[in-house]
Structure 1
C-alpha cells in the first residue's frame, strides 16, 4: 500500500500498523499521495477526480493546499486497497489494473473501476475479486 501511495503525510512517515493508517487518514494524506497513486495506476486527473467523487477543480485545489481532507484520504485508501487486492488476485498490479478497467459481465457490463466511487460498489468489486480468487463462477 505504501508503495502505491508514496509519501502520505507531510512528515513522510509510512504507516506500519493499521492504527498508523487510521491516524494518517484522520490527519489527511499529503497531496503527494494522490499524485503517487495517479502515477502508479496511470490515471488522468479526470479519472482520479471521478474515483474520489471530486471535481477536477477541487482536485487541483487540494494539490495547491497540499493536503486531502480525511474523507478524501479515506476514499484514496479504499481505492488503493482495491488496486492492491486486484494485483494480488491477478499476480501483478498491471494485470489487476487491466481487469479493473475492463467491462465485466458480472457487473452488468460496467468496469470495476467505475464502481469504486462508493462504498457499496467497492464491496461488490472486492466480493467479485474473492470469487475469482477461489474459482467461483462469476
Structure 2
C-alpha cells in the first residue's frame, strides 16, 4: 500500500466522499479538490462502498450493478479492500446524489425512497438507474434543484 492509498483509508461508518471530509479528521474538515481526486485515483476503500450501500438501502450486487461492477469483480474488490479509480469515481457520483437528495428532501428515508422510485421527469426510470452515466446524474441533480425551488417537473 502506497502513501496515497494509506491517506485515503477510512475508518468511519458513513462515506467520507459524501461529505468531502478528510480521512481520519473530525467531521466538517473538508478535503480539497486535489485531495478528493488523489483518493479517487488511489481507489476508495471498500468501506466507502459498504457505507453507501447501507445509506441507499441496496444490496451489494444491486449497488455494484449501478457502479458497473460484476459479481466476480465485487468478490475481488472485497479481497483487495479497494475499488479501482473508475469505480471510485462512479461511487462518488452516487454519494453526491444521495447527499443532494437528502438535503433537498429533508431526511435519509425520503432520499432513499425518492432515489429508488420511478420518476416521470426521468422517463419513468428511477434516479439511481438514470444516474448510471454522468449526463444522467447531472439531470437528476437538475431535477433535485427544480424540486428544491418548487418548479413543477
TM-score, length of structure 1 as denominator length: 0.87
Whether the 8 Å contact between 1:5 and 1:33 is mirrored in structure 2 is yes
Mapped pair 1:77 → 2:92: yes
What's 1:113 paired with? 128
Whether the 8 Å contact between 1:45 and 1:56 is mirrored in structure 2 is no
Mapped pair 1:49 → 2:64: yes
Mapped pair 1:91 → 2:106: yes
CA RMSD of aligned residues (A): 1.9
How many residues were matched structurally? 133
TM-score, length of structure 2 as denominator length: 0.79
Gaps of 5+ in 2: 1-11, 18-22
Counterpart-to-counterpart distance in 2, 1:3 and 1:135: 33
Whether the 8 Å contact between 1:6 and 1:37 is mirrored in structure 2 is no
Q: Which runs of at least 4 in structure 1 moved beyond 3 Å after TM superposition?
A: 12-15
What's 2:14 paired with? 4
